[in-house]
A and B are shown apart, each in its own frame.
Chain A
Amino acid sequence: MTWIGALSQLIQLAVAVLLAPLLLGWVNQCRAWLQNKRAPSLAQPYRMIRKLFLKEPVIAHNASPIFRLTPYIVFGAMALAAAIVPSLATDLPFATAADAIALVGIFALARIFIALAAMDIGTAFGSLGARREMLIGFLAEPALLMVFFTASLISQSTSLVTIVETLAHREFVIYPSLAFAGIAFTMVSLAENARVPVDNPATHLELTMIHEAMILEYSGRHLALIEWASSLKLFNYSCLGLALFFPWGIVEGAHDVVGLLWAIPVLVGKLALGGFLLALIETMSAKLRIFRAPEFLGTAFLLGVLGMLVHQLLGA
């Protein structure tokens, strides 16, 4: 591992961690515009995180160490994922740490801890949210794996680096199987990031909330870390989608710091477009009943499997 590689890795990590709240702010702004509302400022998530960091955390008497540790574990898992996902350059030192399947495992680790922490206090809302989260999670994970398998079949490897290099730097070929996988991935990331068709990030309505129900007991710096981690999760999923389906602009190799700096505006542009599309999807669709969520994710799984089958039949 050379020092240039380490520097590139640090740049990518810093960009991810610092830009993630901005992406969330941008999505919220687009959504407000599309709904004819006055938009909050782009920096609103940063202000929120700062305010929460300055506040004193309040913890229930019967909270176990899991409850205290979870914000750090969740944030750490998301930051690790941000280091692994090839968002700016492909061959970074951390990229060998996990392939696509292990990455799903990292996301699952964060999910399990946040669900445990939600049940830890013993409030009704916490365990309700945890149950719903696990329902969504166990349906979303296989669909996500199918998406990765489709991309892996095309590039003959489960390593994200190889997938990106195969798709970005070979001559342009239309892959119908990737189109299926792309739709499935969009559906999975809507469900995983608690966006509108499955969960609504803007309300605290007890009948419908999933993610918000789990973090009701958190306050102060713990809540700040959780909020930051969930914006980082959105950022990671967006970068993953861009890496799998629109990999152009990602620098190959880790020894080109200037190219890496050029890749940042490209990434920001792609994310701005992606965030706008996310806001558009959220505005145009209504929230599903919770019992329709398995149907939604079942469709995502089906599309992932169809992508694999179509790849087997057509070889493309």
Chain B
Amino acid sequence: MSLPLSSQLLNLLAAVLLLLSFAMLAQRRLLSLVSLFAMQGFALCLATLLVALTSTQTHLFYSAALTLVLKVIVLPYFLYRMIHKLEVLWDVETLLNIPMIMLLGIVLVVIAFNLAVPISQLSSTITRSMLGIALASVLLSFLMMITRRKAIPQVIGFLAMENGLFFAAISATYGMPMIIELGIALDVLVGVLILGVFFFQIREQFDSLDLEHLEKLRDE
């Protein structure tokens, strides 16, 4: 019953990814959230590299390098700079209390694992059992975007969701075609740049990054 070492390491990395998703869900501090995001990107990069080595798919090496540059170095650095410029180093508020969110998260994980079982039986990759974890981290990032009120954590949730999708693609079909991956990477980069501009505009308008203000529509 024992698996080869590479599969064991992949399982471990998948578990680390799930753990980091939960840590991001529960993290109140903005700076720690950014470093957790960078760690998640690093785990994703290692997983991609490992799949590339075991399955000898050369294009996965490129996507591992892309992940490393974009999600471990560029985006966290950009977010860090933005947090400093916006001077928002204080605690992040959450809508529900944290144990409640954690319980919701467990429910989501159970749903994701159950959903993934029939899908992963159709797949023939060595990584197919990790699909459930990928799906779970996508759902957890959704939950994070729903429960946060401030703008920057929502963007980090969006980026974490992209990480989960990328992981799902690796585990189900050894990654997407290179052109699509490049397109997504560019989209994410440009999206974060534009959202960064939005942050400054939102703050100028409402004096805070709380997105509740955007929900109030005025007639006049």
Could you list which residues of chain A lie within 8 angstroms of chain B, going by C-beta atoms?
Answer: 171, 173-174, 176-177, 179-180, 294-295, 298-299, 302-303, 305-306, 309-310, 312-316
Chain B residues packing against A (C-beta within 8 Å): 1-3, 8-9, 11-12, 14-16, 18-19, 22, 26, 98-99, 102-103, 105-106, 109-110, 113, 116, 129-130, 132-133
Residues of B within 8 A of A179 (CB): 12, 15
Partner of B8, one of A294, A295, A302, A316: A316
Residues of B within 8 A of A303 (CB): 19
Q: Which residue of B lies closest to A302 (CB)?
A: B102
Which of A173, A176, A298, A309 is the most central at the interface, judged by chain B CB atoms within 10 Å of its CB?
A176
CB–CB B102/A298 < 8 A:
yes
Q: Are A305's CB and B113's CB within 8 A?
A: no
User: From A176, which residue of chain B is reached at the shortest CB distance?
Assistant: B15
Contact indicator A313/B99 (Cβ below 8 Å):
no
Chain A positions within 8 Å of B133 at CB level: 310, 313
Q: Which of B1, B14, B19, B26 has the most CB of A within 10 A?
A: B19
Q: Is the interface of A mostly helix, strand, loop or mixed?
A: helix
**Contact yes or no, A174 B106, CB < 8 A:** no
Sampled A-B contacts (20; CB under 8 Å): A173-B2, A174-B8, A174-B12, A176-B11, A176-B16, A177-B15, A180-B15, A295-B99, A298-B99, A299-B26, A302-B22, A302-B103, A306-B18, A306-B22, A309-B109, A312-B113, A313-B116, A313-B129, A313-B133, A316-B3
Contact B105 A302 (CB under 8 A): yes
CB distance from B127 to the nearest CB of A (A): 11
Nearest 10 A-B pairs (CB), nearest first? A176-B15, A298-B99, A174-B8, A176-B12, A302-B102, A314-B11, A313-B132, A313-B113, A176-B11, A174-B12
Given contacts A177-B15, A314-B11, contact A295 B113 (CB under 8 A): no
Complex CA gap A226/B141 in Å reads 47
Known interface pairs A309-B110, A310-B15, A313-B132; 12 further A-B residue pairs with C-beta atoms within 8 A, sorted by A's residue number: A174-B12, A176-B16, A295-B98, A302-B105, A302-B106, A303-B19, A305-B106, A309-B109, A309-B113, A313-B129, A314-B11, A314-B14
For the complex, give the distance between the alpha carbons of A173 and B12 in Å.
Answer: 11
Instruction: Knowing A295-B99, A299-B102, A316-B8, say if A306 contacts B19 (CB, 8 Å).
Output: yes
Give the shortest distance, in Å, between A228 (CB) and chain B (any CB).
35
- Nearest to B129 among chain A residues (CB) is A314
A171 to chain B: which residues have CB within 8 Å? 2
Contacts of B8 in A (CB 8 A): 173-174, 316
Inter-chain contact A174/B9, CB cutoff 8 Å:
yes
B99 to chain A, nearest CB (A): 4
Determine the residue in chain A with the shortest Cβ distance to B25.
A302
Residues from chain A with Cβ under 8 Å of B18 in the complex: 306, 310
